[in-house]
């Protein structure tokens, strides 16, 4: 099921099923997780670990709660 593996666009590591992840779609960032949103596909948007995203200072794209 390699196509179900999400990896972080910053560190390149796999994003775990229950890890908080940030998805950026159409210049909008939001926080979710693969567990919360099983229909999420890696083809749509760019994915980051929440911590990587925060550490990079990318908050200029506001995260919707
Ligand atoms: Zn990461």
Q: What are the tens digits of pLDDT across the range 12-21?
A: 999 999 999 9
Q: From the CA of 51, how far away is ligand 1's center (Å)?
A: 7
Q: From the CA of 13, how far away is ligand 1's center (Å)?
A: 6
Please provide the average confidence, as pLDDT, over all residues in the chain. Answer: 85
Residue 58, pLDDT > 90, answer: no
* φ, ψ dihedrals at 22, nearest 5°: -105, 130
Cα–Cα distance, 61 to 16 (Å, whole number): 23
Question: Higher pLDDT residue, 58 or 37?
Answer: 37
Q: From the CA of 22, how far away is ligand 1's center (Å)?
A: 10
Cα–Cα distance, 63 to 65 (Å, whole number): 6
| CA 24 to chain centroid | 7
Q: From the CA of 18, how far away is ligand 1's center (Å)?
A: 14
Q: Is the pTM of this model over 0.75?
A: yes
Q: Angle 58-5-56 (CA atoms, 0-180°, nearest 5)? A: 15
Residue 27, pLDDT > 90, answer: no
As for how many domains the chain has, the answer is 1
Query: What domain range includes position 55?
Result: 2-64
């Amino acid at each position: 099921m390699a196509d179900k593996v999400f990896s972080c666009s910053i560190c390149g590591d796999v994003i775990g099923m229950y890890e908080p992840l940030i998805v950026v779609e159409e210049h909008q960032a939001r926080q979710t997780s693969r567990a919360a949103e099983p229909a999420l596909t890696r083809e749509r948007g760019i994915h980051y670990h929440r911590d990587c995203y925060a550490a990079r200072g990318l908050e200029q794209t506001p995260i919707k709660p």
